[in-house]
């Protein structure tokens, strides 16, 4: 039996492989871009308000900051204490054309030793978790030129 692939959060990303993109929203009045997406109103306090349209975000950015997650998330996050905890690197990537920073996990196999502020990264499809029925999909950041 194959698992059903489901996004962790519907509407935040789309596509597969080289077509994978994060999805944000852009305000028609002030051109501000938001991620996570906004569907009700422009979050720019100086904006008179405009229509919000879905836009794919840039597939590449630069490492703005990074760290590693060496602890099991506290409550209310659910983690199985019977399973081992695997630390992962977290990357805050700056998307220059959108003028925003997006946080995400590094692709599997990428550690903080592989990262440097200012290096180019690309968004790639990833897996957050799997259970018997479902593969929960998300995004990862991967340094450009590195293959999975």
Residue 148 counted as domain residue: no
CA distance 52 to 68: 34
Q: What length is written for the chain?
A: 148
DSSP-assigned letter for residue 71: S
Residue 124 lies in a domain: yes
Question: Is residue 31 in some structural domain?
Answer: yes
Give the β-pairing of 88-95 and 52-56. unpaired
Portion of the chain with pLDDT greater than 70, in percent:
93
Q: Which domain holds residue 13?
A: 4-143
User: What is the distance between the alpha carbons of residues 33 and 135, in angstroms, rounded to a whole number?
Assistant: 29
- pLDDT class of 76 with cuts at 50, 70, 90: low
111: pLDDT strictly greater than 90: yes
Q: What is the mean pLDDT of residues 129-141?
A: 90
The pLDDT of residue 87: 82
Q: Looking at the domain assignment, is residue 55 inside a domain?
A: yes
Q: Measure the CA angle with vertex 58, ends 66 and 121; round to 5°.
A: 35
The number of domains in the chain is 1
| pLDDT, mean over the chain | 90
Backbone angles phi, psi at 84, to 5 degrees: -70, 150
70-74, 119-123, 132-136, 140-144: which has the minimum mean pLDDT? 70-74
Q: Which band of pLDDT confidence, cut at 50, 70 and 90, is reported for residue 59?
A: very high
C-alpha to C-alpha distance for 109 and 123, rounded to whole angstroms:
15
Q: Is residue 116 part of a domain?
A: yes
């Amino acid at each position: 039996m194959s698992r059903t692939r489901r996004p962790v959060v519907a509407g935040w990303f789309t596509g597969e492989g080289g077509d994978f993109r994060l999805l944000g929203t852009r305000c028609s009045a002030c051109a501000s871009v938001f991620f996570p997406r906004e569907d009700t109103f422009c979050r720019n306090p100086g904006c008179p308000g405009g229509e919000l349209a879905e836009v794919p975000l840039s597939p590449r950015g630069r490492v703005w900051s990074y760290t590693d997650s060496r602890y099991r998330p506290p409550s209310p996050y659910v983690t199985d204490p019977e399973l081992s905890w695997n630390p992962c690197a977290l990357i805050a990537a700056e998307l220059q054309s959108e003028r925003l920073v997006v946080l995400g996990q590094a692709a599997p196999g990428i550690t903080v030793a592989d990262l440097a502020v200012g290096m180019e990264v690309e968004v790639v499809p990833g897996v957050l978790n799997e259970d018997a029925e479902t593969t929960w999909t998300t995004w990862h950041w991967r340094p450009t030129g590195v293959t999975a």
